[in-house]
Amino acid sequence: MDRKPKSGLIYGFNLGLGYKNFDFTTFWEGTANVDIVNNTKFQTDFWSVDDVGSNKGTRLLNAWSLDNPNSSIPALTTVDRNAESRFSTYYVENGNYVKLRVLQLGYSLPKLLLEKLSLESFRFYISGQNLLILDAKNFTGVDPENAGFGYPQPTTFTAGLNFTF
């Protein structure tokens, strides 16, 4: 089977809005038309088949067998007679995703109040990073952006002050 290479796309959308003394910023980022290798799937599905007592992926419950010939999951074996440990397209998955990278809401004190406080500017804000992931439903791992180790990007929240005397 000949497969043509895909032309992947990385994109982003940044939006900044302001109304009166409020400001709002958001940044979305994603990929489209990409295939990725899910190494976590390799580690959880097959490396430990003959390791008694180790954890296995639940997908293995639906592996190919004589009783389950229509499964897309390869047959399990503890003997590597046919180089079953070689790379397989079983580990290649759709890597498309859209992530909400940044969401920030801020408020700046009005000029009259700044003058009374002898400040040039004063703004406080709340912000969140890596809040949401969309369109990754075809990926069986934790995070298609970091498929090699399976650790998702951490979600963080920040509150802060910016002021100038």
Residue 136's beta-bridge partner residues? none
Nearest to 93 by CA among 45, 161, 159, 21: 45
pLDDT at 40: 75
- Whether the per-residue pLDDT at 1 is higher than 50: the answer is no
How many residues are given for the chain?
165
CA distance 119 to 121: 6
Q: Of residues 45 and 94, which shows the higher confidence score?
A: 94
CA distance 104 to 16: 9
pTM, whole model, 2 decimals? 0.74
User: Helix H segments across the chain?
Assistant: 39-45, 111-116
Q: Kindly state the average pLDDT of the residues 35-60.
A: 70
Q: Please state which of the ranges 31-40, 42-51, 133-142 shows the lowest mean pLDDT.
A: 42-51
- Whether the per-residue pLDDT at 29 is higher than 70: the answer is yes
Q: Is 126 helix (H, G, I), strand (E, B) or coil?
A: strand
Nearest to 102 by CA among 131, 144, 124: 131
Sign of CA dihedral 86, 78, 81, 89: negative
Name the token pair of 140. 């069986």
Average pLDDT, the chain: 84
Q: Determine how many CB atoms are found less than 10 A away from the CB of residue 41.
A: 20
